[in-house]
Structure 1
Amino acid sequence: MSSATGTPAGSSLAPGAPITDGGVQESRWERAARAAQERGALAVLVLVVLVASFAFDTFATGANLSNIAIQSAFLAVIALGMTFVIITGGIDLSVGSVYALGGVLAAWGSQHGTWAALLVPLVVCGGIGLVNGLLIARGGMAPFIVTLATLLFARGLTLTITDSGAEVFLVPQGSSFSRLGQGELFGIAYPVYVALGLFALGALLLQRTAFGQTVLAVGSNEDAATLMGMRVQRAKLLAYVLSGTLAGFAGAMLAARSSSGVPTVGVGLELDAIAAVVIGGTLLTGGAGTTGGTLCGVLLLGVIQNVINQIGSLGSSYQSVVSGAFLIVVVVVQTFLSRRRR
């Protein structure tokens, strides 16, 4: 029997409890599980920052926090695109190589003007994302295999352009393009502002547009989304185009920052991007995630690296150990929370 409020007899649901998208009331436990999944990264980030601020005198200084922000900005742009891909239930292993390719193309293009420095990497890297999307969305191929192939392709193309790394293209000093990476406003580098702006646009795209709602629906249940008339293939294709374009743009910003296109950067960066997205609360199975959570995940990885550097006696390899252990804990907790919510 049901109560007068329509709640099943014996249920722990209280009248007026929040309603989910499926029209089902959430219990207190389900609300707590959803909040932990969506905001857990923010809570841990605040905790780590507070502890580090008291433990190390140089951590909370303006110069150090600015350093964390600029080092995190490039990964953040890549992770933003990865967020959309993972929410659809896919994966993009090519972003590290596309990041390096974008930097090399931007440095080469800068010798022909600022517009060439920006457009060439965006078009080429967006084209790689388009190939990924077509093969996965239209061809029905596995994202892991497709993006692994484009990872090798992009890295090989980068080495071919630079004669196996022997030739490094330099960005002209004082050019408008170099100021994109080296300019500052209130002591904060331009790439940080660009990354924050892109995340604001990404949040609007995911939460306030039909494309974003389709991305979420595809990850939750692709068959149901298809039956509802949503443009499933288009959403998946655009997610990979967005990922490739943002990875190429991040590479271009790095080239502007470092005044050169280094072909060896980005090795393993795809794993950092995936880790940041998952730590930020996006489910690897798709269907749930936020851009704000991804930003917290990126900053948390940056803070962990900085804290390890603050200790001094620990090598950089410890960052991978700590990040890997933290990622395992996050995945286990996510799995537990998802099962309880179901």
Structure 2
Amino acid sequence: MSATKTDAPPAATRGEGPAPAGEAVGAARSERVSALVQQHGALAVLVVVSVVASFSFDSFATGDNLGNMATSSAFLAIVALGMTFVIVTGGIDLSVGSLFALGGVLAAWGSRHGTLVALLLPLVVCGTVGVVNGLLVARSRLAPFIVTLAAMLGARGLMLALTDEGAETYLIGKGSFLAELGQGSTLGLGNPVWITLALFAAGAVVLRRTRFGQHVYAVGGNEDAAALMGVPVARTKVLVYTLSGVLAGLAGALNAAWLASGVTILGSGMELEAIAAVVIGGTLLTGGLGHVSGALVGVLLLKVIQNVINQIGSLDSSYQQVVSGAFLAVVVVAQTWLGRRRQLM
């Protein structure tokens, strides 16, 4: 006796077939919107805050205020550039604040022996610290948090040893090329701003258009899969931590040139500001996604918020930390939500 054949409902009715074309298009559009918000949301907020501040405060949009804000942002931006490469690989670098201060002291001390020594010394010393960080993270497989925390304490201690516990301040002579590099201007913008823009342009090309940049993204996306594909994981990690150390030292040297002295109290908490700027700019703390332009936008947004608080006048400077922390928390929550939403699409 043969079994009675029943007609099965269409696959789409059972929910097993492909989704209707309209739903697929809608999902793709929603994913694109989520990606745009995740990557460029900070830029939109920066524009809105700047426009509102321009109409609210007469001195905000003046050339002097914008120029000072751009110059003061340049040093943090250079540190954030190196931090971007580190975070994209899924790491973290807590030593950059101390390396920034150490680089400034070394540049001021080396200026007595010429501009070349003043520039090379912080790059070599801070870059060496970055190499050690990278080797311990990549080869010894130690946690980046612990390794760079130790480097932060060591660099700060070395800086204090060079300055007799901060009692001695090295000065940079007026009229020297190093002082002109930090205090001079070209086409109405301070020289540190032009140097920062050049570094970010080079960083964008390296991260997006080179094999090394592809390796950085691959390591941050899935380290085990990257190793199976032949990506030199350990070498990539060493290079990004070295780059972070070199850029932190360079930022410190430029800051010392701007102030004409190696100030020992600078750099405290700068590593947290750099991390905040990078994350606000759209780089995921888990790695694998990010871009250098976002870090620049994040730095500018933090500086604009600080400037607005200063413009208000009635608020204490500590509110800058409160606002920055609250904004960072909102951004991290938004990034997590957008990331999960894109995974479900």
Tell me the TM-score normalized by structure 2: 0.93
The whole-number CA distance in structure 2 between the counterparts of 1:253 and 1:98 is 13
Q: SS of the residue aligned with 2:314?
A: coil
2:149 paired with 1:148: yes
Q: Which runs of 5+ in 2 are unaligned?
A: 1-10
Q: SS of the residue aligned with 2:161?
A: helix
Q: SS of the residue aligned with 1:27?
A: helix
Q: 1:139 offset after TM fit, Å?
A: 1.0
Hey, what does 2:163 align to over in structure 1? 162
The whole-number CA distance in structure 2 between the counterparts of 1:123 and 1:8 is 58
Q: 1:85-124 counterparts in 2 under 5 A?
A: 85-124=86-125
Hey, what does 2:222 align to over in structure 1? 221
Hey, what does 1:289 align to over in structure 2? 290
Q: 1:219 offset after TM fit, Å?
A: 0.7
Q: Aligned to 1:8, which of 14, 18, 24? A: 18
2:78 paired with 1:77: yes
The whole-number CA distance in structure 2 between the counterparts of 1:297 and 1:9 is 39
Equivalenced residue count is 328
CA deviations on 1:3-49 (whole Å, 9 max, x unpaired) are xxxx93346223xx9xxxxxxxx711111111111101111000100
2:53 paired with 1:47: no
Q: SS of the residue aligned with 1:165?
A: coil
The whole-number CA distance in structure 2 between the counterparts of 1:63 and 1:163 is 37
Hey, what does 1:252 align to over in structure 2? 253
Q: 1:264 offset after TM fit, Å?
A: 1.4
Moved more, 58-67 or 125-134: 58-67
**Percent sequence identity over matched residues?**
65
The whole-number CA distance in structure 1 between the counterparts of 2:34 and 2:238 is 31
Q: 1:186 offset after TM fit, Å?
A: 2.2
Q: 1:138 offset after TM fit, Å?
A: 1.1
Q: SS of the residue aligned with 2:113?
A: coil
Q: 1:116 offset after TM fit, Å?
A: 0.1
Q: SS of the residue aligned with 2:175?
A: coil
CA deviations on 1:43-70 (whole Å, 9 max, x unpaired) are 1000100110111111111111111101
The whole-number CA distance in structure 2 between the counterparts of 1:9 and 1:331 is 32
The whole-number CA distance in structure 1 between the counterparts of 2:277 and 2:166 is 29
Q: SS of the residue aligned with 1:13?
A: helix
The whole-number CA distance in structure 2 between the counterparts of 1:234 and 1:341 is 31
AA of the residue aligned to 2:24: L
The whole-number CA distance in structure 2 between the counterparts of 1:308 and 1:173 is 33
CA deviations on 1:288-312 (whole Å, 9 max, x unpaired) are 0010111000000010000000000
Q: 1:1-342 counterparts in 2 under 5 A?
A: 8-10=18-20, 12-14=23-25, 27-342=28-343
The whole-number CA distance in structure 2 between the counterparts of 1:76 and 1:259 is 20
Hey, what does 2:8 align to over in structure 1? none
Q: 1:187 offset after TM fit, Å?
A: 2.2
AA of the residue aligned to 1:9: A
Q: 1:150 offset after TM fit, Å?
A: 0.2
Q: SS of the residue aligned with 1:202?
A: helix
The whole-number CA distance in structure 1 between the counterparts of 2:307 and 2:46 is 13
AA of the residue aligned to 2:18: P
CA RMSD, aligned part only?
A: 1.3
CA deviations on 1:85-117 (whole Å, 9 max, x unpaired) are 000000000000000000000001111001000
Q: Which runs of 5+ in 1 are unaligned?
A: 18-25
AA of the residue aligned to 1:84: F
The whole-number CA distance in structure 2 between the counterparts of 1:178 and 1:240 is 28
- When Rg is computed on C-alpha atoms for both structures, the one with the higher figure is 2
AA of the residue aligned to 2:80: A
Hey, what does 2:4 align to over in structure 1? none
The whole-number CA distance in structure 2 between the counterparts of 1:94 and 1:198 is 20
Q: SS of the residue aligned with 1:226?
A: helix
Tell me the TM-score normalized by structure 1: 0.94
